[in-house]
């Protein structure tokens, strides 16, 4: 049976995906392997991939860009996957951090965390291109003071739209998930 396996940098990514995946791909068997940060992910990813037993598994690796070079990070992770025998693994980078995804859908933020008037701010330049924000987590906390990384990601994973998000890296993540499962 096919299974989609996520290799993630942090628990908040898992919390978000657990709300998205059942809506995006109902019925797909999903596993989440959460590492203890970027360094742990890069160190242990090849070991986990080499040891994976299910030949029906498809893999998606996700981590934050933070202040690094997005293309270099992606290339390094793709090389690790390839060297571990899984060149078909999909790698996606959150530009700059996971919270950029949420700022791309302020309607979801308003629904999950409040305040209700927040959705009207989506037309502001910084929210039309949230991937450009270097401080997305701080910005989200400023406009939605109830936001906490884990519980906020859990709530937003259930509310965030599957289409129409202003974060290109979020849209690329969803496209990558579909691609990993052979869905166009």
d(CA 129, CA 100): 9
User: Cis ω on the peptide bond leading into residue 164 (within 30° of 0)?
Assistant: no
- Residue 11, classified by CB atoms within 10 Å of its CB into exposed (0-12), middle (13-18) or buried (19+), is middle
Tens of pLDDT, residue by residue over 19-66, are 999 999 998 999 999 999 999 999 999 999 999 999 999 999 999 887
pLDDT recorded at residue 95: 81
Domain ranges for the chain:
3-97+167-180, 99-148
d(CA 61, CA 91): 5
In the numeric block, the tokens 């990514």 are attached to 13
User: What CATH number matches the domain at 3-97+167-180, 1.20.58, 3.40.50, 3.10.50, 1.10.287?
Assistant: 3.40.50
Q: How confident is the model at residue 150 (pLDDT cuts 50, 70, 90)?
A: very high
């Amino acid at each position: 049976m096919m299974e989609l396996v996520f290799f993630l940098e942090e628990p908040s990514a898992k919390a978000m995906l657990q709300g998205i995946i059942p809506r995006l791909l109902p019925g797909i068997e999903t596993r989440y392997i959460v590492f203890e940060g970027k360094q742990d992910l890069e160190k242990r990813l090849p070991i986990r991939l080499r040891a994976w037993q299910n030949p029906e598994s498809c893999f998606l690796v996700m981590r934050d860009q933070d202040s690094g070079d997005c293309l270099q990070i992606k290339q390094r992770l793709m090389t690790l996957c390839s060297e571990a025998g899984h060149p078909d693994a999909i790698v996606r980078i959150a530009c700059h951090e996971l919270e950029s995804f949420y700022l791309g859908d302020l309607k979801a933020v308003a629904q999950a965390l409040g305040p209700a008037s927040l959705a009207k701010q989506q037309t502001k330049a910084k929210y039309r291109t949230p991937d450009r924000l270097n401080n997305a987590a701080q910005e989200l906390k400023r406009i939605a003071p109830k936001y906490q990384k884990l519980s906020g990601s859990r709530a937003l994973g259930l509310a965030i739209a599957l289409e129409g998000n202003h974060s290109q890296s979020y849209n690329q993540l969803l496209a990558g998930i579909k691609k990993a499962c052979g869905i166009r």
